[in-house]
Amino acid sequence: MGVVLACNNYEVIDLGVMVPSDRILKTARERGADIVGLSGLITPSLEEMVHVAREMQREGFEVPLLIGGATTSRAHTAVKIAPGYGPPVVHVLDASRAVGVVSQLKSAELRGAFAAENRREQERLRREHQARRSEKPLLSLQEARRRRTKIDWASYAPPRPSFTGARVLDPVPLEEVVPFIDWSPFFHTWEMKGTYPRIFENPEWGARARELFEDAQRLLRRIVDERLLVARAVYGFFPANAVGDDIEVYPDESRQGPLGTLHTLRQQADKGEEEPDQALADFVAPRETGLTDYLGAFAVTSGHRIEVLLERFERDHDDYGAIMTKALADRLAEAMAERVHQRARVDWGYGRAEELSHDDLIRERYRGIRPAPGYPACPDHTEKRLLFDLLQVEETAGIRLTETFAMYPASSVSGFYFSHPQARYFAVGKIERDQVLDYQRRKGMDLRSVERWLAPNLNYEPEEAEAAGGEGSEAKPAAAVR
């Protein structure tokens, strides 16, 4: 976004990532910014954007606010952000549209009409949002639980991993990771849609894609040969059993006094009796079965030392090199997640006989899943705390968890392993207040915080529910690992 605008002669003041609201506003004021832009990658950013918009209103700002980034949407901007700030709040889908939007907002003749159209569109989106909420009622939590994934535990023997606890891989040799790269998302970073390698045949951008790929290979070779990025990983297995929609993780085979609990959320959509309403806890043997099941966890990063490399490009005003570096680091992080998962399946026993091609790996044609906190199957980012405590991720892999549960270095991935052959990815989707209240009690977290973290999943407006006299709760912070 910054590069595209800068190429069109706008001065862009890039404050970087995870910048507090007061610094954004202070800089905007001091530098006389004409427009403020916010970018959001993961859910916690959405709430932060609402906060920044309200702060801008409170401080009497009059400049337009632009919203973008992977996790944002037109609907969220209209429903949650725009109502808090008077001047235009505009969602920009991708960077290529930013120039058009900015030039209209800057033009005295065009601004009025553009802002009016944007306001009309957002009013329509708000009405739609309101109508959709009352359209299709969700199942009660009790009924959704009854429709849980059917697994025949009586005839199942959980595989036993060759070790329990955490194992550290430091450093992970990058040459071992490169073959696991899925290249298709690399092109999406450059706004080129398509699947690798077919993308090279695209009549419109095939040639450009090939050029980009060749540049990427050259830089990747240097990164690997000269060890310009340092990759670290940690993974492990823990005795675990499901207790309702929670997964208790135990310190040892005595399976007493849980070390921590993974709280999972259940789908509540009415999909008919045939289709299950799933929660990740469905895939771990319930405690009452007496089965000795396990939960796996991992955290990987390829981002150590990236600053040194980025500084070099930035010093040379080489934006292309800097974006390429970040894109490659992201690819390496995802590839590490794939590589370490393969190792974990071997350690867990059931992956020893696997013979999978690169394509099979990308299509996830293996047993088990590795949902990451923040992905649709476990949308609560705060569950990363448990994962970080179990694996001591800060110390073992050097990945820091920020207060909004983002990971630093940015090119990091963390998640859980489930080994059951019926384990599948799914999207929790919208959930009702009965589940949120139950979840909040299980987590020992106050209702308002839970509602904030799960905002995109709520099928109700917390303020309205509260005004209607709904049940509240006292704040009680959760200790993920006791």
Give the footprint of ligand B12 on this chain (CB under 6 A).
Answer: 1, 37-39, 41-43, 66, 68-71, 92, 94-95, 98, 185, 188-189, 191, 330, 333-334, 372-376, 406-407, 410-415
The helix or strand, by DSSP H or E, that contains position 219, with its residue range, turns out to be helix 206-225
| Cα-based angle 214, 215, 217 (whole degrees, multiple of 5) | 65
* Maximal CA-CA distance, the chain: 74
Q: Do β-strands 293-304 and 230-243 pair in parallel, antiparallel, or remain unpaired?
A: antiparallel
**Which burial class, exposed, middle or buried, applies to 279 when counting CB atoms under 10 A from its CB (0-12, 13-18, 19+)?**
buried
Q: Please, which residue, 37 or 351, has the CB nearer to ligand B12?
A: 37
Q: Report in angstroms how near the CB of residue 273 gets to ligand B12 at its nearest.
A: 28
Shortest Å distance, C-beta 352 to ligand B12: 27
CB of 286 to ligand B12, least distance (A): 26
In sequence order, what DSSP letters do the residues of 242-269 get, joined into one string? EETTEEEE-SSTT--S-SEEEE------
Give the residue with the Cβ less far from ligand B12, 241 or 414.
Answer: 414
> How far lies 293's CA from each of 242, 250, 348, 463, in Å?
9, 10, 11, 41
By beta-carbon proximity to ligand B12, the closer residue of 24 and 445 is: 24
CB of 42 to ligand B12, least distance (A): 3
**Alpha-carbon span 196 to 23, nearest angstrom:** 41
Q: Which is nearer to ligand B12, 184 or 292 (CB)?
A: 184
**Angle between the 95-106 and 111-133 helix axes, to the nearest 10 degrees?**
130
Q: How far is the CB of 154 from ligand B12 (least distance, A)?
A: 34
- Helical packing angle, 43-58 and 21-31, nearest 10°: 50
Nearer to ligand B12, 410 or 481 (CB): 410
Residue 89 or 151 having the CB closest to ligand B12: 89
**What whole-number distance in Å separates Cα of residue 218 and Cα of residue 361?**
24
State the residue number with the nearest CB to ligand B12.
68
Q: How far apart are CA 381 and CA 374, in angstroms?
A: 5
Instruction: Indicate the residue type of 95.
Output: A
CB of 24 to ligand B12, least distance (A): 11
**Collapsing DSSP states into helix, strand and coil, what is residue 388?**
helix
Nearer to ligand B12, 285 or 299 (CB): 299
Give the residue with the Cβ less far from ligand B12, 191 or 204: 191
Nearest approach in angstroms of CB 193 to ligand B12 is 11
Read off the tokens for 322: 């800097």
| CB of 444 vs ligand B12, minimal distance in Å | 22
- Which DSSP letter does residue 481 get? B
CA distances from 481 to 139, 275, 371, 429, 447 (A): 32, 34, 20, 27, 20
Nearer to ligand B12, 10 or 153 (CB): 10
Other C-beta atoms within 10 Å of 250: how many? Answer: 20
Omega before 239 cis (within 30°)? Answer: no
Name the residue nearer to ligand B12 (CB basis): 19 or 42.
42
Choose between 5 and 249: whose C-beta lies nearer to ligand B12.
5
Helix (H, G, I), strand (E, B) or coil at 298: strand
What whole-number distance in Å separates Cα of residue 287 and Cα of residue 255? 9
- Cβ 90 to ligand B12, closest distance in Å? 8
User: From CA 88, how far away is CA 121, in angstroms rounded?
Assistant: 12
Q: Which is nearer to ligand B12, 151 or 309 (CB)?
A: 309
What's the closest the beta carbon of residue 331 comes to ligand B12, in angstroms? Answer: 8
Helix (H) or strand (E) holding 452: helix 447-453
CB of 205 to ligand B12, least distance (A): 15
The answer to whether the beta carbons of residues 324 and 432 sit under 8 Å apart is no
Output the smallest distance, CB 326 to ligand B12, in A.
Answer: 6
Nearer to ligand B12, 28 or 285 (CB): 28
Give counts: helices (H), strands (E), the chain. 18, 11
Min separation Cβ 404 and ligand B12, Å: 9
